[in-house]
A and B are shown apart, each in its own frame.
Chain A
Amino acid sequence: SAVISQKPSRDICQRGTSLTIQCQVDSQVTMMFWYRQQPGQSLTLIATANQGSEATYESGFVIDKFPISRPNLTFSTLTVSNMSPEDSSIYLCSPFRGFCEQYFGPGTRLTVT
Chain B
Amino acid sequence: TQLLEQSPQFLSIQEGENLTVYCNSSSVFSSLQWYRQEPGEGPVLLVTVVTGGEVKKLKRLTFQFGDARKDSSLHITAAQPGDTGLYLCAGVGSGTYKYIFGTGTRLKVLA
Instruction: Please give the residue numbers on chain A whose beta carbons come within 8 Å of chain B beta carbons, in ascending order.
Output: 1, 4, 31, 33, 35, 40-45, 48, 92, 96, 99-107, 109
Instruction: Please give the residue numbers on chain B whose beta carbons come within 8 Å of chain A beta carbons, in ascending order.
Output: 30-31, 33, 40-45, 48, 50, 88, 90, 92, 97-99, 101-104, 106
User: A43 near B101 (CB under 8 angstroms)?
Assistant: yes
| Distance A68 CA – B101 CA, assembled complex (angstroms) | 22
Whether A42 touches B30, Cβ cut-off 8 Å, given contacts A102-B99, A106-B42, is no
A-B contacts at CB below 8 angstroms, number: 54
Residues on the B chain within 8 Å of A96, using CB: 97
Q: Say which residue of A41, A100, A107 sits within 8 Å of B42 (CB atoms).
A: A107
CB distance from A89 to the nearest CB of B (A): 13
| Distance A94 CA – B104 CA, assembled complex (angstroms) | 18
| Distance A40 CA – B43 CA, assembled complex (angstroms) | 13
User: A45 near B99 (CB under 8 angstroms)?
Assistant: yes
Residues on the A chain within 8 Å of B106, using CB: 40
Whether A42 touches B88, Cβ cut-off 8 Å, given contacts A96-B97, A99-B97, is yes
Residues on the B chain within 8 Å of A43, using CB: 43, 88, 90, 101
User: A92 near B42 (CB under 8 angstroms)?
Assistant: yes
Q: Say which residue of A44, A48, A99, A105 sits within 8 Å of B30 (CB atoms).
A: A99
Residues on the A chain within 8 Å of B97, using CB: 31, 48, 96, 99
CB distance from B24 to the nearest CB of A (A): 14
CB distance from A47 to the nearest CB of B (A): 11
Whether A105 touches B42, Cβ cut-off 8 Å, given contacts A42-B88, A99-B97, A100-B50, is yes
User: B42 near A104 (CB under 8 angstroms)?
Assistant: yes
| Distance A62 CA – B30 CA, assembled complex (angstroms) | 28
* Smallest Cβ-Cβ distance to A43: which chain B residue: B101
Whether A104 touches B30, Cβ cut-off 8 Å, given contacts A43-B101, A45-B99, A48-B98, is no
Can you list 15 contacts pairing A with B, beta carbon distance less than 8 Å? A33-B98, A42-B103, A43-B43, A43-B88, A43-B101, A44-B101, A92-B43, A99-B30, A99-B48, A99-B92, A100-B31, A104-B43, A104-B44, A107-B41, A107-B42
